[in-house]
Chains A and B, each alone.
Chain A
Amino acid sequence: MNGETVEAYDIVRIARSSGRYTGIDFIKGIFNHFFELHGDRRFADDSAIIGGLAYLEEEPVTVIAIEKGHNARERMQRLFGAPNPEGYRKALRLMKQAEKFKRPVICFVDTSGAYCGIGAEERGQGLAIAENLCEMMTLNTPVISILIGEGGSGGALALSVADRVYMLENAVYSVISPEGCASILWKDSSKAADAAACLKLTAKDALSLGIIEEVISESNIDQPEFFAGVRDKLIAEIAALRKDPEMLEHRYQRFRRIGRTEQQK
């Protein structure tokens, strides 16, 4: 095992640790007067996704966050941050509402993946994610997503089709968990550390692959300046997006260019 291998998997461990800031911490740290809105109006209220209205300084915004919880009890209640289809449908309802009232949308993503269960399949997990991907691509209001911990596959992407995507320094973003990858490829989930290195899932990797715009440094994460810094960035970027008459075209092209093969460049 080489040094690089250890590093990628160490970041996975940090990203998963229960001591990290969760969605609620970011909402409290950045916004004022958060008011939570519940339910997808179709089936239920998903406890893994929190959404609502808040002030970003002077401006009302729609905030959506995947919440994992800090301790065992909270984590059980939040389904370990694994949303059911109703969670994605609630998020979409709030985004559509934001579009109607011309509010920007800010998403905080922290999930090991969409919930894996019988009920989730019966209620169309795949469809729920697919609909979010489609609708977010044409949502006519600025959308910014920040990956704060784990960015697990389709379950994370369903809140990350945005104009700007940022990752915290110790967040990860991956198509499959390193354990899952190791067990499929090498029939051995204990090789997760090797898989983590192969998958290029750290914030630095995502930046160099052109998947995200910026890495948010965690050097001052335990100080109040940290949230102030994120707040300032959000305000500046929303202002820039508001001025962009081609915002939706740019959002489309942002994803369109990823994975163009050699012949197409």
Chain B
Amino acid sequence: MAFLKFLYKPKNELESGGRAASPVQADANEPEKTCPNCHKAIPLSRIWANANTCSCGYHFRMSARQRLSFITDKGSFEEMFTDIVSSDPLEFEGYAEKLETVRAASNEVEAVICGTAKIGGNKCCLFIMEPNFMMGSMGSAVGERITSLFEYATEKRMPVVGYTVSGGARMQEGLVSLMQMAKTSGAVKRHSDAGLFYLTVLTDPTTGGVTASFAMEGDVILAEPGATVGFAGARVIEQTTRKTLPKGFQKAEFLLEHGFVDAISPRRYQKSLVSMLLKMHSGGDAR
């Protein structure tokens, strides 16, 4: 088609493909990802440029570091508790090796990153869970990091913003994982009783022990469009009850309808929404 180009003169910028639309003229070799919603293949660079969303509105999963750069003010994040890592309290078969593989593959040492940051100029404590690390499962280190973050926030009188993504408690740490639900909840309660603000953003998927603890304990609970949020897994429910699940079961919109989240927050406007909510709660102590 290149030879036709000289016959066709674009009348304006739009016809010529728009200004600086470099990602649109995709490199033929660039890897693509097919959107599960609209089934279009989209070049990765375009997905990344749009905070991991498709133009149809579908939200792809996002690694914790990617989310960090997208939600926080540039250079404001100071990571904390990096020395807290999972041990293998039960000496569970294959767990130590699994941790090693996952660490190498994900470039993270644990399934959550914590620290302080500024979001739209508002200082806050922040935790972001990592879907690429054993699906954000909560073991002792995740529980310890989040508990420590809430204790720090309570002491410094700071608000907490938390991004959840998790398959639940990490079964390889058995009861020690289970107890992290109580431990984190206790720390959230103290933070709350001190009159401080906690905002959670539920992202795909937030399930099991994390849903049944700190994910649902926020003063304000946001959810990303289409995120799966629930306690029991949908397949398990289907198998045990032998009933067809209703359409959109356990999706963010379903939770909104049933009154369990405050709002659905598309990524595009998320940073401004989060910073507005932080600002609205900065009147008293939570500065």
Q: How far is the CA of A205 from the CA of B179 in the complex (A)?
A: 14
Residues from chain B with a CB closer than 8 A to the CB of A114 are: 212, 231-232
Number of interface residues of A (CB under 8 A): 52
Per the bound structure, the CA–CA distance linking A243 and B139 in Å amounts to 34
Residue B90 contacts which of A135, A185, A198 (CB distance < 8 angstroms)?
A198
Within 220-265 of A, Cβ neighbours of B (below 8 Å) are at: 252, 255-256, 258-264
* Interface residue SS majority, chain A: helix
Query: Are the CB atoms of B216 and A130 closer together than 8 Å?
Result: yes
Q: Mark A158-187, 1 if CB is under 8 A from B, else 0.
A: 101100000000000111100001001100
Residues in B with CB closer than 8 Å to A181 are 171
Q: Please, how many angstroms separate the alpha-carbon atoms of A131 and B189 in the complex? A: 10
Within the complex, the shortest CB–CB distance from B284 to chain A, in Å, comes to: 21
Given A118-B237, A134-B188, A263-B85, check contact A126 B180 (CB 8 Å). no
With both beta carbons as reference points, the residue of chain A lying nearest to B147 in the complex is identified as A256
Q: How distant is the Cα of A257 from the Cα of B90 in the complex, in angstroms? A: 16
Question: Taking the complex as formed, is B48 at the interface, i.e. its CB lies under 8 A from any CB of chain A?
Answer: no
Question: How far is the CB of B74 from the nearest CB of chain A, in Å?
Answer: 30
The listed residue (A133, A173, A260, A262) touching B185 by CB distance below 8 A is: A133
Interface residues of A in 103-156 (CB under 8 A from B): 114, 116-118, 120-127, 129-131, 133-135, 137-138, 153-154
Which of B14-22, B28-36, B242-250 faces chain A? B242-250
B236 — nearest CB in chain A belongs to which residue? A116
Which positions 193-244 of chain B face chain A at CB distance < 8 Å?
193, 208-209, 211-217, 229-232, 236-237, 240-241, 243
- Selected contact of B175 from candidates A118, A158, A175, CB within 8 Å: A175
* Contact call A201/B174, Cβ cutoff below 8 A: yes
Residue numbers in B under 8 Å from A198 (CB-CB): 90, 92-93
- Are B232 and A120 in contact, CB atoms less than 8 angstroms apart? yes
B212 touches A129 (CB 8 A): yes
Name B230's closest neighbour in chain A (CB-CB).
A121
Bound complex: CA A255 to CA B258 (Å): 32
- Asked if B237 and A116 sit within 8 Å, CB to CB, the answer is yes
> With an 8 A cutoff between CB atoms, is B286 at the interface?
no
Chain B 89-120 interface residues, beta-carbon cutoff 8 Å to A: 89-90, 92-94
Q: Shortest distance in angstroms between A158's beta carbon and chain B's nearest beta carbon?
A: 8
Which residues on the A side are within 8 Å of B89 (C-beta)? 209, 259
Q: Is the CB of B240 within 8 A of A138?
A: no
Q: A40 to nearest B CB, angstroms?
A: 16
Is the CB of B54 closer than 8 A to any CB of chain A? no
Additional 19 contacts, C-beta under 8 A, given A133-B182, A259-B173, A261-B86: A118-B245, A118-B249, A125-B212, A125-B231, A125-B232, A129-B231, A130-B185, A133-B185, A134-B186, A137-B189, A138-B189, A154-B169, A175-B171, A175-B173, A175-B209, A200-B174, A209-B175, A263-B83, A264-B144
* Chain A contacts to B: CB under 8 angstroms: 114, 116-118, 120-127, 129-131, 133-135, 137-138, 153-154, 157-158, 160-161, 173-176, 181, 184-185, 194, 198-201, 205-206, 209, 211, 252, 255-256, 258-264
Q: Sample 23 A-B pairs with CB under 8 A, ordered by A number.
A: A116-B232, A121-B249, A121-B250, A122-B258, A126-B229, A130-B185, A130-B211, A133-B182, A154-B213, A158-B212, A174-B175, A175-B169, A175-B178, A184-B171, A185-B94, A185-B171, A198-B92, A209-B89, A256-B187, A259-B143, A260-B140, A261-B87, A261-B141
